[in-house]
Every structure is written in structure tokens, then in C-alpha cells.
Structure 1
Amino acid sequence: MTDTAKADLKRELGDGLPVLDELSDADAADILELFQAARKTEQKQLMAAIDETIDALPWMFRGTARKIIVGKK
């Protein structure tokens, strides 16, 4: 992890959390790593849910619905 873990964590969570100044660099790095992993997991689960929902539509609507929801790939 970078030596600016606190700055990276503040950027991820927003600067309005003064408690972040109380964290050690190691703790900030650990929390940042956990936060980023959780965000990636959330993104994967969201895309899986979107795919599942679109797959439940009649086939003629799937392409249009996908373009509306996720945009062009």
C-alpha cells in the first residue's frame, strides 16, 4: 500500500471524517484495502443483478434495456 494511505482513504470516503486523522498509517492502509475490495465486490454483484434482471425480460427487449441501464459497451 502507498505511504499516503490516509490521503487515499480520505479521498475515497470524503474529507469530512476527522476520525481518519486518528488512524495509524497501517490501519489506514488496511481500511483502504478493505474498502476498495468491498467496492469491487459490490460492483460485481450489482452487474450480476442487472444481468439477471435483463435476462428475465423477453428477448426482444434485452438489448435495448441493457443499453439503457449500462450504456454501450
Structure 2
Amino acid sequence: MRSITGEFVAKLATIWHRFTLPEEDHETLADMLVPMDEAGERVAKHLEFDMEPADFDAAMEDLAPRRTFE
């Protein structure tokens, strides 16, 4: 069972963005988000990211391009 469903997307839009999605868009948007969620899960395992704020900061540091200052 996938974690992102049309119902989840509709609730997310209502709670986070304060608007109501047309019902015909629920599953379409869920279908678009599922591959991104799955890719994120694969990358999170590689980065040893387990949802802690410190892990997020460390992951962003590892992914950030290195700048050299002259």
C-alpha cells in the first residue's frame, strides 16, 4: 500500500495550503507525488537521514556545493 493517496493529498492541500482541490485532481496529484516520495526514501537511506533536525542539517551540508573563498 502506498503512503500518498488522493485523500492524503486533498487533506494536505486543505491543511497546509488552505484550499480545496477539485476531486478529479486528488489521484492525479497523488500519482505525481508517489515517485518523488519513493526516490526520497531511497536517498534518505543512503544519507542516513531519519527525520531528526540534526540529520536534515547534516544531509544538507553533505549535498551543498563546496564554495572556495579567495
- The TM-score by the shorter chain falls in which range? 0.3 to 0.5
TM-score normalised by structure 2 residue count: 0.42
Q: Which has the higher helix share?
A: 1
TM-score, normalised via structure 1 length? 0.41
Q: Which has the larger radius of gyration?
A: 1
